[in-house]
Chain A
Amino acid sequence: MPERSDLVAASPVLRPPTGAPQQSAGAPRQSEGALRQSAAALRPPDARQGPGPIPGALLDALDVAIQRLIARTLAGSRRATGVGLGTELAQLRPYESGDDVRHIDAAASARTATLHVRVHVPERALTTWIVLDLSSSMAFGTTARLKADVAEGAALVFARLGLRRAGSVGVVACGVPGEPGGIRVLPPRGSKPGLVAVRKLLEEGVSPDGRSDPDMLAAALGRVFKLSRLPGLVAVISDFRDQHEWERPLGALRLRHAVVAVEIGDPAEAELPAVGRLALVDPETGELLRVDSSNRRLRERFAALERERRAAVASELRRLGIKHIALSTDQDWLVEIGRRIG
């Protein structure tokens, strides 16, 4: 396991505001080109560091742990294993030469007057759904990397693991501007196209500032529930911040799938550093806040409220029986995933 934090270039640090206007850490880049494109589009954050290298050996080790998790969660409720190509209907498509005639669907062929074959998927092949939070609050980080970078890494890990053994990966991204309901769906795809699609989405970055939707996570989870027929793995990657009513759809998913919740945070969100007077802006609501961070009681109150909030998220996930992986921007997130899953 190489030390990856030394690969990181300049780390954005929370500084007290100085007189000179400065681009604050992690704000989405607003180059002219990006502006010309569209105001409503994902943008790569300024201080993007990337998730760092993801060594294959570590991934292999994680694979075993995840498979164990899935087997434990879904054992007994998985569809009957059969021989051959499987018994679960994937789709009906017109016959092409070379198709096995035993798969011709008589009823469908009669209805459409063209030959149709039933395509089955092997039920051992697992579909992994990644619910990815792309809201602007993810473009924040005060230590090694941004929350969005960690989310990117976690999404890549789950995508690469999900693609093993002929699996397929679908993504439901929430907080995406320009999409109906702020939700973009990448349908499950296997092999290379699946990974390429995920990578392409991750390359696009996160939502620009000034958009907030407290129900987007719940909506994305509900969408996954509707789309996923087969039991599989659902990885929810978010900061679970300022979101309402996500517990119920997550619980519904839990009944069918193995669910992993990846909560991403930053040390500065847990405790306010004492750096004097601060002007802070909420990236999602755009609300401006002036605080005196040298006030010890304020810092203590803030830390207590944050602890309370995170404890509420953790206890809710525990109640639902969902694996909770809390990642922070200042640690080696890959090792942390392995530690929590194993």
Chain B
Amino acid sequence: MSFADPLWLLLLALLPLALIAQRYSRRRTRTYAVRFPAAATLQRALAEGGDRRLRRQLPIAALLVALALLVGAIAAPRVNHRVPIRAASLMLVLDHSGSMASSDVAPTRLQAAISAANTFIDQLPASARVGVVAFSTAPDTVQQPVTNHAETRTAIDNQQAVGGTDTGPALQLALQLLHGSQKGHPPAAIVLLSDGAANLGIDPVTVARLAHQERIPIYTVALGTPDGTLNEGLFSAPVPVPPDPQLMRAIARTSGGHAYDAQTESYLSSIYATLGRSLSTVNRKRDISVYFLIAAGLLLLAAALASVRTAARLP
């Protein structure tokens, strides 16, 4: 919670003044107090009935809290509030090359990526459009951004780990599908998941530069551990398949996105969940002074009722 005009909160310093004024007015009581010789007996009667001092202070306490809330309302309190971006389009670019079969991320890199992508879609509001470009040697599975998330899920779930890693053309295709070349295209972002160096086609950093011009950030996730290996057959030695975080960082930096390194499945899911939330929604500050006013009004009413009942006056 924050305040739009926190300077108004300085008025809170007046509350102690109100307390002091009240004390002073109580001291003035002596000027109109009624002389009563049986005061000693009355004091004993009061003591026998238990001290109701606290209960007597309740109305004034409620009044002070209500005043504090009013001051808070003047200072325009706001809370952060996430609202869905209208017509947000998101593109998952998923690597399903042969190295994704490595099991350094349990159960395999590809399975982890698929479940994480599903988590990502879970986080999206229904109005967000999501599509997928799965690639290995070439972008082979293409799903346009649609609001029907089930179609995208099906496309993701059907991936098999086979082939090389050709990141550049896949990113290029994703950009096209997001209508990046059109001016005033709806807000969009690309989430790239890959585990290896791009070894074919157009340089992904070039595509990233283009994406930056088209204001489509690319968020990259490098999946896998540096000592990940791939067992290709029973009689061949394990092939090392380390991810290429440097390239991923370069893509993210160039396009204005952010790079993540995921080495476990749970971390990957959490990255995707965070991305899903932050890419499809935007932080808005919402004014909540009306709630402050309602609370202050209720407290004022309570204080008035309580003191009218006992003292036949407002506190």
A→B interface (CB under 8 Å)? 14-15, 17-22, 24-27, 137, 139-140, 147, 209, 239, 241-242, 266, 268-269, 272, 276-285, 287-292, 294-295, 297-298, 301-302, 305-306, 309
**Chain A, interface SS category:** loop
A291 to B52, CA, bound (A): 10
A303 smallest CB distance to B (angstroms): 9
8 contacts between A and B (CB under 8 A): A24-B32, A25-B35, A137-B37, A242-B40, A280-B35, A280-B42, A292-B311, A305-B44
Q: Which A residue's beta carbon lies closest to that of B310? A: A292
Q: Are A18 and B32 in touch, CB under 8 angstroms?
A: yes
Q: Give the size of the chain B interface in residues (CB under 8 angstroms).
A: 25
A299 nearest CB neighbor, chain B only: B45
B10 close to A (CB within 8 Å): no
Partner of B37, one of A17, A284, A290, A292: A284
- Please name the 10 residue pairs, one residue from A and one from B, whose CB atoms are nearest each other, closest first: A137-B37, A282-B39, A281-B33, A280-B36, A302-B45, A279-B33, A301-B45, A269-B38, A21-B31, A283-B35
Q: Are B45's CB and A280's CB within 8 A?
A: no
Contact of B46 among A15, A291, A309 (CB under 8 A): A291
Q: Which of B30, B38, B49 lies in contact with A298, CB distance below 8 A? A: B49
Q: Which residue of A lies closest to B36 (CB)?
A: A280
Whether A289 touches B39, Cβ cut-off 8 Å, given contacts A17-B34, A280-B33, A298-B49, is: yes
Residues of B within 8 A of A25 (CB): 34-35
Q: 14 more A-B contacts (CB under 8 A) besides A280-B39, A288-B33?
A: A17-B32, A18-B32, A19-B32, A137-B37, A140-B35, A209-B35, A241-B38, A272-B42, A281-B34, A282-B35, A289-B36, A291-B46, A292-B311, A305-B45
Contact B34 A21 (CB under 8 A): no
Contact of B312 with A by CB under 8 A:
yes
Chain A, Cβ-Cβ closest to B26: A290
Q: Report if B236 contacts A (CB, 8 A).
A: no
Q: Does B35 contact A288, Cβ atoms closer than 8 Å?
A: no
Residues of B within 8 A of A (CB): 29-46, 48-49, 52, 56, 310-312
Bound-state CA distance A279–B44 (Å) is 16
B46–A306 CB distance below 8 A: no
* Closest Cβ–Cβ distance, residue B303 to chain A (whole Å): 15
In the complex, chain A residues whose CB is within 8 Å of the CB of B49: 295, 297-298, 301
A277-B310, A306-B41 as given contacts; A26 in contact with B48, CB under 8 Å? no
- Indicate if the CB atoms of A302 and B42 lie closer than 8 Å: yes
Q: How far is the CB of A311 from chain B (nearest CB, A)?
A: 13
Question: Is the pair B34, A14 in contact by a Cβ cutoff of 8 Å?
Answer: yes
